[in-house]
Chain A
């Protein structure tokens, strides 16, 4: 067991443990914060796997943007900030069974499939330079399409969240009643 493996295993434990806390904690805000921990540990894992650019993007977008968005959502929906007992639905045990079964199936398959596979770690393989070259040389068209997608989702989010925009009558009935 090499040092890389030890470090990745520790990070993986942290990531999975934090994820479990995310889905089990009774505090909404804590869930968001444990999500930060999980994503951070994952970013560390990316670093160990030599995907440094992805790691920084992970930190920037997930930890910096998405979690902040989620916190905003928590606050905008006036969720209870403190402990709340009813964050889990009555479906919990069935969900746990399905999740465990999923984990068992996936882990079994993965372990059986890649028991003896090792992968070469080459420093600098995922640097910004390499990835930038790949994106703007090979993947430029998907990249541009993705920008259009982002624009569309931006417009959609604005339309959905603004209450003073109404659907035109011929486009369908009123989308939302003011509650």
Chain B
């Protein structure tokens, strides 16, 4: 089987995920897009595992690990999203503007903590930030 098929599909999936992360407003949709990107990576891992005929199956095992980590990430991410929702009654990432330089600029009143549904960051780091406002 030609190697280009799975890799091209993975590249396209990743790009779609990028678009989703950048363009979607709802934090849960952003999380979905992150899942798409993770899946693109998984596909690449499986593909190259098979291509290299890896006796240790490092690619596929790593795919399993990634799936587990994705599950953990989605759990923590959703917890953060719920916390944001509880504080602000909305989960729109483009309205969470506490990072803006001018405190008078954001549309929302300043919140004590800024729980950002930041998909790229490690969930643990997010959790630590969450604890310290």
Interface on A for B, CB 8 Å cutoff? Answer: 2, 4-5, 8-9, 12, 15-16, 19-20, 22-23, 28, 31-32, 35, 38-39, 42, 45-46, 48-51, 53-54, 57-58, 61-62, 65-66, 69-70, 72-74, 76-79, 86-92, 94-96, 98-100, 102-103, 106-107, 110-111, 114-115, 117-122, 125-126, 130-131, 134-135, 138-139, 142-143, 146, 149-150, 152-154, 156-161, 163, 167, 171-179
Q: A32-B32, A92-B23 are in contact. List 17 more A-B contacts (CB 8 A).
A: A5-B1, A8-B6, A23-B19, A39-B39, A42-B42, A46-B43, A54-B46, A72-B78, A78-B85, A79-B26, A87-B24, A89-B24, A102-B14, A149-B72, A153-B76, A161-B82, A179-B86
The range of chain B's interface size is 35 or more
Closest to A58 in B: B67
Q: Assess the B2–A23 pair: CB atoms within 8 A.
A: no
Which of B28, B50, B56, B89 is the one whose CB lies under 8 Å from A134?
B56
Interface on B for A, CB 8 Å cutoff? Answer: 1-9, 11-29, 31-33, 35-36, 39, 42-43, 46-47, 49-51, 53, 56-58, 60-61, 63-65, 67-76, 78-83, 85-89, 91-94, 112-113, 123-124, 127, 130-133
- Across-interface contacts of B130 in A (CB, < 8 A): 160, 175-176
- Across-interface contacts of A99 in B (CB, < 8 A): 15-16, 18-19, 22-23
- Across-interface contacts of B133 in A (CB, < 8 A): 172-175
- Across-interface contacts of B21 in A (CB, < 8 A): 95
In the assembly, what is the distance between CA of A91 and CA of B69, in Å? 29
Q: Assess the B33–A5 pair: CB atoms within 8 A.
A: no
The A-B contact count (CB < 8 A) is 299
Closest to B37 in A: A19
In the assembly, what is the distance between CA of A149 and CA of B113, in Å? 25
Q: Assess the B79–A119 pair: CB atoms within 8 A.
A: no
- Across-interface contacts of A87 in B (CB, < 8 A): 24-26, 29
Subset of 9 A-B contacts with CB under 8 Å? A12-B5, A19-B17, A66-B71, A77-B91, A95-B19, A102-B14, A110-B8, A138-B56, A178-B86
Q: Assess the A61–B67 pair: CB atoms within 8 A.
A: yes
Closest to B80 in A: A160
Which of A73, A119, A131 is the one whose CB lies under 8 Å from B1?
A119
Given A61-B71, A119-B1, does the pair A160, B32 have CB atoms closer than 8 Å? no
Q: Assess the B23–A20 pair: CB atoms within 8 A.
A: no
Which of B15, B35, B71, B88 is the one whose CB lies under 8 Å from A102?
B15
Interface of A is mostly: helix
In the assembly, what is the distance between CA of A20 and CA of B23, in Å? 12
